[in-house]
Amino acid sequence: MLKTCALLLGSLLLVASVASAVSGEWTIYTKPEIQKELPDNAAVATFLKTLVPELDAVDATVGEYEITSLGTDISVQLIATVDVSGRELYHSIYIVCNTGDIKVTLIRLPGENITDLKQWLVGKKWDPFSCTLTKEGK
């Protein structure tokens, strides 16, 4: 099945990353490497759907995404707004991080449509151990 995914994804490095995610290892680490392998929303959506198969079942789309370092260390996280309704309502944020194992965190924000991810990230506190964001001071 993994070989089939490799043929469908078309990018050997991204496939290696996805395959490693299943086994708990992330094979590319720097922001430029990740940006090269995830250059647009479609590539990010494909990557997320590989890690979270439920997203494929609902034909999820990615609105905005950031490849950034949220903490003070050198680790890099992928953060993406996701619509599962088909109405371009981005109530979900997925965070993919590497803390020795690949972790995918979902933050649901019912009633909130995130149209400016960078602005939404302002004032959030990063917790690298749980791979999540909280409001500053909490």
Is a pLDDT exceeding 50 seen at residue 9? no
Does the residue 60 lie in any domain?
Answer: yes
Does the residue 64 lie in any domain?
Answer: yes
Does the residue 133 lie in any domain?
Answer: no
Tokens of 28: 């590319």
Does the residue 137 lie in any domain?
Answer: no
Compute the average pLDDT of residues 6-33. Answer: 46
Type of residue numbered 85: S
Does the residue 134 lie in any domain?
Answer: no
Does the residue 136 lie in any domain?
Answer: no
pTM over 0.85: no
DSSP result, 29-98: -SHHHHHHHS-SHHHHHHHHHHH-HHHHHTT-EEEEEEEE--SSSS--EEEEEEESSSS----EEEEEEE
pLDDT at 128: 78
Does the residue 50 lie in any domain?
Answer: yes
Domain containing residue 75: 2-126
Confidence of residue 99 (pLDDT cuts 50, 70, 90): low
Kind of pairing between the strands at 124-127 and 102-108: unpaired
pLDDT one-digit tens code per residue, 86-96: 999 999 999 99
